[in-house]
Amino acid sequence: NAGVMQNPRHLVRRRGQEARLRCSPMKGHSHVYWYRQLPEEGLKFMVYLQKENIIDESGMPKERFSAEFPKEGPSILRIQQVVRGDSAAYFCASSPSPSWWSEQFFGPGTRLTVL
């Protein structure tokens, strides 16, 4: 049973470009959570999605960031017009039921570097 998969593992973008980060949850998991870890910081919750629904986006920046989890395919975190401050590691986690921690499994992360 494959774990949570994220791709790409490393992404380099120039300021103003778009970044698309993908997360494939574990098999049987229909709940996805995105976290961001800025340099020298802890992980910060961004958004919680179920299939085709955004449940909680209270941690998402108000502009340029969006997330989706379609019926088919991976969850996508999209960052438009990236700026240097977006450089961070982005982690996704999945769970089989609504569960904030007890059953969340994390992916290896995508490290975004904005030049």
- Judged by the rule CB under 8 A, the positions of this chain that interact with another protein are 4, 9, 40-45, 48, 56, 58-59, 91, 93, 98-102, 104-109
Q: Which is nearer to another protein, 10 or 15 (CB)?
A: 10
Query: Residue 40: left (phi > 0), alpha (psi -120 to 50), or beta?
Result: left
Q: How far is the CB of 83 from another protein (least distance, A)?
A: 22
Q: Which residues pair with 79 in a beta bridge?
A: 19, 65
Q: How far is CA 111 from CA 14, 20, 36, in A?
A: 14, 12, 10
Residue from 81, 73, 80, 75 nearest 35 by CA = 75
Q: How far is the CB of 16 from another protein (least distance, A)?
A: 28
Q: Which is nearer to another protein, 18 or 41 (CB)?
A: 41
Q: How far is the CB of 80 from another protein (least distance, A)?
A: 24
Q: Which is nearer to another protein, 53 or 102 (CB)?
A: 102
